A and B are shown apart, each in its own frame.
Chain A
Amino acid sequence: MVRTVSGIGSKRLVVGAHYGLAGFIGQRVTSIVLTLWIFLVGVSMLFGPLSYDTWAALFAPLWMKVVTLIALFSLLYHAWIGMRNIWMDYIQPVWVRLSLETITILWLIACGVWSVQILWRV
């Protein structure tokens, strides 16, 4: 094992291999979920004219609400990893970067809560 030092204390290993792997995998997995969702909705909309009734009917079944919510949460996690990378790359002062990262997280959580209401109101 690489991490022979303990996980806490002043000798804690905070850089190196493994850090970021979860983000890397998460970015790919969520991107596949989003692509599948886009094709699902896109193909569904190819049949018949687009009206409120057909559009609302698409999101009426519970399974579609759940699938769409999974896609939306995937989007939020995807956006978090991407935005974190952008902040890490371009924003050097630690307190500015931490503030932007905090705002990003809270903003995305707010969007997630909102999207639940949007979906379950149909």
Chain B
Amino acid sequence: MSSFTAEKEPRPKFRNLNFPLLLSYRLPLPGVVSIMHRISGAALFLMLPLLLWLFDLSLMSELSFERLRGITSNFFFKLLLVFLIWGFLHHLVAGIRYLLLDLHVGIDLKSAHAGAIVVYAVSLPLAFIASLKIFGVF
């Protein structure tokens, strides 16, 4: 224990974050993945009625299917869809990482950081491809 008490500068302790502290706190990458997992989950929950409505339109009849095509041709709606799909993909990929962490796969500090990078390396390109598809590039 003596080696710890000899430490000159005590490490900063963050017991509870308040707003000014929040701005100076540098969240590690796995932490960014974590809070984005929560934000995307909450956003998907809030948008659930919209998604169910779109699902309903897609299945009800050929007429409603065409109506769905009309709605989704709107630029701002496409933008909303891009954000929702990005949020969903982040939630999915980060969620798979959490399942692996539950199985103690990639749990140490170094591989947890690498895993966080993999989450972005997978979810961001997929979201980009989806947005290209939504905006009719291919």
Given A28-B102, A31-B95, A55 and B49 touching (CB < 8 A)?
Answer: no
Per-residue contact bits, chain B 72-111, to A (CB 8 Å; 1 contact, 0 not)? 0000000000000000000010011001001000000000
Interface residues of A, dominant DSSP: helix
Residues in chain B near residue A31, CB distance under 8 A: 95, 99
Contact of A52 among B48, B56, B62 (CB under 8 A): B62
Q: Please determine whether A82 and B55 come into contact, CB atoms closer than 8 angstroms.
A: no
Given A28-B102, A86-B38, A121-B60, A52 and B65 touching (CB < 8 A)?
Answer: yes
A111 interfacial by beta-carbon distance below 8 Å: yes
Q: Please determine whether A79 and B48 come into contact, CB atoms closer than 8 angstroms.
A: yes
Residues in chain A near residue B44, CB distance under 8 A: 79
Q: Please determine whether A114 and B52 come into contact, CB atoms closer than 8 angstroms.
A: yes
Residues in chain B near residue A75, CB distance under 8 A: 48
Q: Please determine whether A118 and B56 come into contact, CB atoms closer than 8 angstroms.
A: yes
Number of interface residues of A (CB under 8 A): 21
Q: Please determine whether A35 and B59 come into contact, CB atoms closer than 8 angstroms.
A: no
User: In chain A, residues 71-122, which have Cβ atoms closer than 8 Å to a Cβ of chain B?
Assistant: 75, 79, 82-83, 86, 111, 114-115, 118-119, 121-122
Q: Please determine whether A111 and B59 come into contact, CB atoms closer than 8 angstroms.
A: no
Residues in chain B near residue A35, CB distance under 8 A: 92, 95-96
Per-residue contact bits, chain B 39-64, to A (CB 8 Å; 1 contact, 0 not)? 00110110011001001101111100
Given A28-B102, A32-B99, A35-B92, A122 and B45 touching (CB < 8 A)?
Answer: no
Residues in chain A near residue B41, CB distance under 8 A: 79, 82
Q: Please determine whether A121 and B48 come into contact, CB atoms closer than 8 angstroms.
A: no
A56 interfacial by beta-carbon distance below 8 Å: yes
- Chain A residues near B (Cβ < 8 Å): 28, 31-32, 35, 38, 52, 55-56, 59, 75, 79, 82-83, 86, 111, 114-115, 118-119, 121-122
